[in-house]
Amino acid sequence: MNLLLVDAFELTGDETTLTGRRAEHLVRVLRVMPGDWVRVGVINGQLGRGQVLAVEGDSVRLAVVLDRKPVCDLNVDLILALPRPIMVQRILKQATVLGVRRFHLIRSRRVEKSFFQTPLLGAEKIRAILVDGMEQAMDTWLPQVTIHPRFKPFVEDVLPGLDGQGLIAHPEAEGSLADLAVAALPPRQRLVLAVGPEGGWSDYELQCFGEQGFRRFTLGRRILHVDTAVVSVLAQLQLLYDLRNR
C-alpha cells in the first residue's frame, strides 16, 4: 500500500479513524507510532499526508493534511472485450495502475456469455480491485466501470457518445501507435482504446468500430494474451507522451 486512501465521508474535520484492512496495514506492516506521517489521499479528491495521533487496539486515528491534486498524463477510456474471469482482476488492477479512467466491459462474438456471471463483476469486488490499483499507483481517481452484456446496443447507443480519439488494437493492422502519431495529439487528449478477446475481433466488430472513427494499430507480429496486450498498449502510450514532453 503506497497510498492510504479514505472516502470523504470518513473525515471529521481534518481527522479520520480507521479500522479493518487499512488500520491493520498501518500497525502490522508499517508499524506506525503516534507522531509518524503516512501518505494519504481522498478518493476522487486531493493528496496529502496524515499524522498518526493514536493507535488504540484495532483502530488508528490520523490528522490529515490535503494540499495537492493528483497528476496523470493519460486520459484513457478502455473498451475491453470481457476476458476469462481469471484475467479480469489482473487487468482491472494493472490498467488502473497505468492510468485508465473509465472501463467499458463488453460482449463480443468470441466472449463467452457465462463470463458475465462471474462474482468478480460485483460492485464491491470491482471497487476493491480498483482501490488496490489506486493505492499502488498513488492516485485518487476511482475509475468508472460499466458492463455491457450485448455488443450491438453498445456500439449503437453508447459508443457514439464517447468523446475522444478512438484506437483499436488489431494484429493485422498496418501501423503501430507511433505510426498513428498519437504523440502529436493535444495534451490531455482523451483516448478511447479498444482491446479485443483472445480470439480477436470479428470483421463485423471491426467495421462497427471503424464507422465510429476508430483507427487500427498493431502491437507487432506476436499475438499477446489480453492482459499483456493491455499493459503493453498503455505503457506505449505513456512512453509516447513522455517523449513528446521532453
**Residues 234 and 138 occupy one common structural domain:** yes
List the CATH number of the domain containing 103: 3.40.1280.10
Residue the block writes with cell 460485483: 122
CA-based R_g, the chain, Å: 20
**Residues 201 and 139 occupy one common structural domain:** yes
Render pLDDT for 175-232 as a digit per residue (tens, 0 to 9): 888 887 776 676 667 899 999 998 889 999 999 999 999 999 998 888 889 999 999 9
pLDDT at 241 over 90: no
- This prediction's pTM: 0.92
Which of 25, 45, 68 marks a domain boundary? 68
Q: How many CA atoms lie within 13 A of 241 on its CB side?
A: 18
By residue range, what is the domain housing residue 59?
4-68
**Residues 89 and 177 occupy one common structural domain:** yes
Render pLDDT for 11-62 as a digit per residue (tens, 0 to 9): 999 999 999 999 999 999 999 999 999 999 999 999 999 999 999 988 999 9
How many domains, in total, are found in the chain?
2
Which of 68, 89, 106 marks a domain boundary? 68
Mean pLDDT of the chain: 92
**Residues 123 and 233 occupy one common structural domain:** yes
**Residues 28 and 130 occupy one common structural domain:** no
Helix (H/G/I), strand (E/B), else coil: 209: helix
CA torsion through residues 200, 125, 24, 96, sign: positive
**Residues 115 and 217 occupy one common structural domain:** yes
**Residues 97 and 206 occupy one common structural domain:** yes
**Residues 138 and 199 occupy one common structural domain:** yes
List the CATH number of the domain containing 50: 2.40.240.20
Helix (H/G/I), strand (E/B), else coil: 185: coil
Which of 48, 68, 88 marks a domain boundary? 68
